[in-house]
Amino acid sequence: MTVPTTTIGYPRIGKSREVKKALEAFWSNKLDEETLLQTVREVEIFNWKTQLKAGIDRIGIGDGTLYDSVLDWVVRLGLIPERFRHLSGLDRYFAMARGKEGIPALEMTKWFDTNYHYLVPEIPTKFEPADFSDFLETAHLAQEFLGDRAIPIILGPISLLRLSNLEISPEQAASYLLERYLILLTQLKNLGITEVQIHEPVLVLGDAANWKELYQSIYPSLAQVGLPLHLVTYFDDLRETYAWVMQLPVTSISLDFTRGRNLELLKQYGFPADKRLGIGIVDARNIWKIRPETLFYILDEIQKFTSNISLQPSASLQFVPYDATKEKHLPEALRNVLSFAEQKLAEVAFLAKTVAGENTKTEQENIQKTWEIFEQFSPANLTVQEKLRNLELSDFERSLSYSLRLSQQIPLPPLPTTTIGSFPQTSEVRKLRVKYKKGEITLADYQAAIDAEIARCIQIQEEIGLDVLVHGEFERTDMVEYFGQQLSGFAFTENGWVQSYGSRYVRPPIIYGDVERTAPMTVREFKIAQSLTQKPVKGMLTAPVTIINWSYPRTDISRQDQAFQIALALREEVADLETAGAQIIQVDEPALREGLPLKTERWNEYLSWAIDSFRLATAIAQPQTQIHTHMCYCEFGDIIQEIERLDADVISIENSRSNNQTLREVTEGGYSHQIGNGTYDVHSPVVPTTEQIVRQLKAGIANLPLSQIWVNPDCGLKTRRWEEVIPALKNMVEATRIMREEINDISK
Ligand code: MET
Ligand SMILES: [Zn+2]
């Protein structure tokens, strides 16, 4: 017996970030279109060869992209919104991705609960002709390299619809789309392709049942083409859709067995005898080597219901970096339990061999051994674990309620002005950090240079006339990495890049052990800043859930425990900042919303510990200390109640849609604490006018009592230039002055 292996997506950025480099060169006119496309092609071919070498039987192809694969499908299917119609080629493609003078880009949002962002399709009333030529060309080329192993990956029609903003009814859109998908499938069949993967991840969402009829009408038509269809789902289980999805006329169905309850569903409903089951068994969302015992148990259970199976990663491997063995600077004991895309291919192959009955005892023992060595290398921190066990309810409660502590906190003028924390990270600052890292300058030199930046930043803020200042975050590369680097239990890769969006890649830290603060993390910079001004300077921290969501967490203990460990470390920092004189401390939690589980029924459990971790980090603050938090770029509507439960004294939120929707959502529920509604969009280089900010403030005030309102930009300013930041903030302060005068006049 043999057990086939499959992949359902692979990293497409290039092992040395070739695509990013080519893109950036192309955008700055240093590279021509042909070379850019050639680069993407080479990365793709390299990926095919890697998967072929790893022995994968059905290799998902066609997910390589210049920017985003959802956008690729939008363009192929001819779903071009009116405002881009006069453009063509790459010019149009990148205008849709990034916008162009006077033409806003497609909206960008998170791909399910991952940190990947896709471009949200807008389904227009009029379609342009479809053009699949690039995809067909890729498929044809893949056949040359892979033969029948080349399995094109297609974004499913219903997922595309469900993730789009529609100008027409879903039914109408579906019928237009169907025609085009039929053309595509026919063309692929004519090429001699033997099977296609149709990815329908929306089947795991809570509302998937609403789409049942569309699935049941579209899929039979697709099946008529006669090309075997492999329906691929991931990120969670099928729950209420399981029973009818199994009946769709496809030849294969893939399920994720690393998340959700697909195993239970399988036991309950069985699996159709006429289909192959793609078993997503190797976790594509995290970077840990497999623990074979648990996986073999799951595989044994599954095989009680079907023997027609294929083994595969749980999702596209685009969510992990390429190769863990490249991380030479990491301790071997840790490196050996890491598994990036290449290692995961080997794991899939290993599992398949074992299931097929081949003797893999030595391999199993080796894996076992690497885990044992790792456990010795990173033993449990008993003190931290003890602290977690001994937490009491009072550790999560501030000593006085909001209304009682309010009068004890620092007096400020009405409509206090402030910023979100970071100021421009100039290339000089970045160069400085590189020099320090390379050992070209000493710590003292580095700190002196950072301090000079802080001093300049404080002076500028004073000149602008802001009420509450910040030190500027010049010492931080990134709001998560900076803390991870100072906490025990975190590791950092050198080359562990994953795509966040387009040409933006990130290297998520790895949480591998119990987390503890070993020394103050932010106190030095705070003190320097505060010593230079009479105005209050905010202490500035990143909250636990954001740290976890933007990292690869451990899998041997719960996310709750990891969040609480980080919270305890931050709690010590809060206390130290207070002792150092901070009257205001901001703890940023921008990723709270995006960590919400895909299924609503799991929201409460998540929110409960997520909010508690913020409270644990901050409740130690004296009543006199004002605690701020900041959130941005998410839909708050879902979690309003919980925002109140954070019990922060002040929250600042982003308002990039500029229609105060978030503010309305937060305040409609009767939000009683203070709130700063972003007065202008920090992602735009355009300097907002005073009038614009006044208007924005008035809209906010209409919603809320004056005493609750703060004035601030949307988010941190680190990606902006000083030439933009200074006039923008001046206008913000001027707008506030105008507002204060008006209010004064009214109250006279
Ligand atoms: C993504 S939220 C960013 C908050 C952080 N304090 C900053 O100003 O950059
Ligand atoms: Zn922000």
Residue 685 pLDDT grade (very low, low, confident, very high; cuts 50, 70, 90): confident
Ligand in nearest proximity to the CA of 588? 1
Residue 636 has pLDDT above 80, yes or no: no
Protein residue with its CA nearest to atom 8 in ligand 1: 716
Q: Above pLDDT 90, what percent of the chain?
A: 88
pLDDT at 658: 62
Ligand in nearest proximity to the CA of 717? 1
Map tokens 């509302």 to a residue. 207
Protein residue with its CA nearest to atom 1 in ligand 1: 590
Establish whether residue 569 lines the binding site of ligand 1, counting it when its CB lies within 6 angstroms of any ligand atom. no
Establish whether residue 539 lines the binding site of ligand 1, counting it when its CB lies within 6 angstroms of any ligand atom. no
Can you tell me which atom of ligand 1 is nearest the CA of 633? 1
Residue 431 pLDDT grade (very low, low, confident, very high; cuts 50, 70, 90): very high
Higher pLDDT, 343 or 107: 343
State how far the Cα of 729 lies from the Cα of 734, in Å rounded to an integer: 8
Establish whether residue 714 lines the binding site of ligand 1, counting it when its CB lies within 6 angstroms of any ligand atom. no
Confirm if 340 and 287 have CB atoms less than 8 A apart: yes
Residue 518 has pLDDT above 90, yes or no: yes
Protein residue with its CA nearest to atom 7 in ligand 1: 716
State how far the Cα of 290 lies from the Cα of 284, in Å rounded to an integer: 11
List the CATH code of the domain at 18-377.
Answer: 3.20.20.210
- Beta strands in 36-181, from DSSP E residues, in sequence order: 59-61, 108-110, 117-119, 122-123, 150-155, 165-166
State how far the Cα of 652 lies from the Cα of 624, in Å rounded to an integer: 19
Average the pLDDT over 463-485 and give the result.
Answer: 97
Establish whether residue 653 lines the binding site of ligand 1, counting it when its CB lies within 6 angstroms of any ligand atom. no
User: In this structure, which residues have their CB less than 5 angstroms from ion ligand 2?
Assistant: 590, 632, 715
pLDDT tens-place string over residues 535-577: 999 999 999 999 999 999 999 999 999 999 999 999 999 999 9
From the CA of 431, how far away is ligand 1's center (Å)? Answer: 21
Protein residue with its CA nearest to atom 6 in ligand 1: 421
Angle at 534 between CA 528 and CA 536, to 5 degrees: 75
Establish whether residue 630 lines the binding site of ligand 1, counting it when its CB lies within 6 angstroms of any ligand atom. yes
State how far the Cα of 720 lies from the Cα of 684, in Å rounded to an integer: 8
Residue 203 has pLDDT above 90, yes or no: yes
pLDDT at 96: 96
Protein residue with its CA nearest to atom 4 in ligand 1: 716
pLDDT tens-place string over residues 78-99: 999 999 999 999 999 999 999 8
pLDDT at 702: 73
Higher pLDDT, 644 or 279: 279
DSSP string, 603-648: HHHHHHHHHHHHHHHHTTS-TTSEEEEEE-SS-GGGGHHHHHHT--
State how far the Cα of 708 lies from the Cα of 715, in Å rounded to an integer: 19
User: Average pLDDT of the chain?
Assistant: 95
Q: Which of 54, 1, 211, 713 is nearest to 424 (CA)?
A: 713
pLDDT at 469: 98
Residue 442 has pLDDT above 80, yes or no: yes
Q: Above pLDDT 70, what percent of the chain?
A: 99
Residue 748 has pLDDT above 70, yes or no: no
pLDDT at 657: 64
Establish whether residue 313 lines the binding site of ligand 1, counting it when its CB lies within 6 angstroms of any ligand atom. no
Average the pLDDT over 493-499 and give the result.
Answer: 97
State how far the Cα of 449 lies from the Cα of 444, in Å rounded to an integer: 9
Task: Show which residues are catalytic.
Answer: 683
Ligand in nearest proximity to the CA of 589? 1
